[in-house]
């Protein structure tokens, strides 16, 4: 069992999937559909969750921001299944806390 610090109700969590080589947007329609569906489910359940495709020259990223650091949720399993179906190489970062109070939490930067 992994020890996680208790989460503050005002904390958000961010993580990213990285897909190499980069993929064209047209190949990721199912991924976009999964992201859109989860965003709508979160909205109806009054949760914070958003996912966005970021198409870059060297890598494609799926950026996720959520009110929960858990990456063993249905959306994550669905994303992994679809990425495997597309036969792409991908990795996923650990969830990083984004303190809502602007404290000394980690800074998130993307380099391309």
Assign domain 12-95 one CATH number from 3.40.50.720, 3.40.50.10470, 3.30.70.600, 3.40.640.10: 3.30.70.600
For residue range 56-109, list pLDDT tens digits in order. Answer: 999 999 999 999 999 999 999 999 999 999 999 999 999 999 987 655 544 444
3-state secondary structure of 97: strand
The C-alpha atoms of residue 106 and residue 112 are separated, in whole angstroms, by 19
For residue range 29-60, list pLDDT tens digits in order. Answer: 999 999 999 999 999 999 999 999 999 999 99
Angle ∠(65,102,53) on CA atoms, nearest 5: 20
66 CB-side CA count, 13 A? 23
């Amino acid at each position: 069992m992994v020890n996680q610090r208790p989460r503050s109700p005002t904390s958000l969590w961010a993580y990213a999937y990285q897909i190499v080589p980069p993929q064209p947007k047209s190949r990721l329609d199912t991924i976009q559909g999964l992201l859109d569906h989860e965003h709508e489910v979160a909205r109806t359940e009054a949760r914070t969750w958003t996912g966005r495709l970021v198409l870059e020259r060297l890598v494609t990223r799926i950026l996720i921001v959520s009110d929960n650091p858990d990456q063993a949720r249905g959306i994550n399993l669905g994303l992994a299944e679809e990425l495997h179906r597309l036969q792409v190489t991908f990795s996923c970062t650990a969830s990083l806390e984004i303190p809502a109070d602007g404290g000394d939490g980690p800074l998130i930067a993307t380099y391309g």
